[in-house]
Amino acid sequence: MDKKEIGIRIKTIRKEKGLSQKELASLMGYKDVSTIAKIETGVNDVTTETLYKLANYLSVDIRDILKVNANYNNDYVKYIRSMVGHNKIIMNASGAIIEKDGMILLQRRSDNGKWGLPGGIMEMDETYQEGAIREVKEETGLDIKLDYLVGLYHNKDLKWPSGDKAHVICAVFKAHILSGDIHKDHESLELKFFSKDNLPEIAAIDHKNAINDFFNGIKNNID
């Protein structure tokens, strides 16, 4: 939600609670109603701290202001971002090195135009293995079998074009194709197999380190 939508929600809830702008401003410790008025009209940004204070004085859950479903399993990342904005958080991810005829499958992402491994942020209640299989299926159309864990890799300063920041911990598996035909989803500009000697520049440090370890023969048990 943008600040205008948040402002509308705050105004609606305030009126439902029978509070005037003056009364809410007093509860919040503001000298006059101008700050509340600017929040409700979307002029002022609203910090997370202010949202929690407003929710408290309006006797609602902060999710009622943000219109976030209490069952955040449907979109965990969206739920967290609704609370912290673009602030840096720790996130878990999974990816796969899919080998065929001595080459590995890489994805050029649509959000930044850069190359990396198929994979992404895990969903609630997923294991690393389940996340890797799901992400590959969504992004490439392929059903895969995981052979072994290459390793766990850190990308401590990842920043998305949206401005979201995170320290990502990514589990990367070596996998082979079981079935399916390669096709792109909205997250991909290209999907292409590359040999070790013909790799494009790999943008993310965690993916780069995983690919290096794979070609150096690093193997770890999945269990």
Known catalytic residues are 190
User: Phi and psi at residue 161, in whole multiples of 5°?
Assistant: -55, -25
User: Phi and psi at residue 31, in whole multiples of 5°?
Assistant: -75, -30
Bridge partners of 176?
145
Beta strands of the chain (E only): which ranges? 89-100, 103-109, 115-116, 119-121, 143-159, 165-179, 188-194
**CA 52 – CA 35 distance, rounded (Å):** 16
**CA 130 – CA 124 distance, rounded (Å):** 11
- CB burial class (10 A; 0-12, 13-18, 19+) of residue 154? middle
Query: Is there a contact between 82 and 9 (Cβ–Cβ < 8 Å)?
Result: no
Are β-strands 165-179 and 89-100 bridged in parallel, bridged antiparallel, or unpaired? Answer: parallel
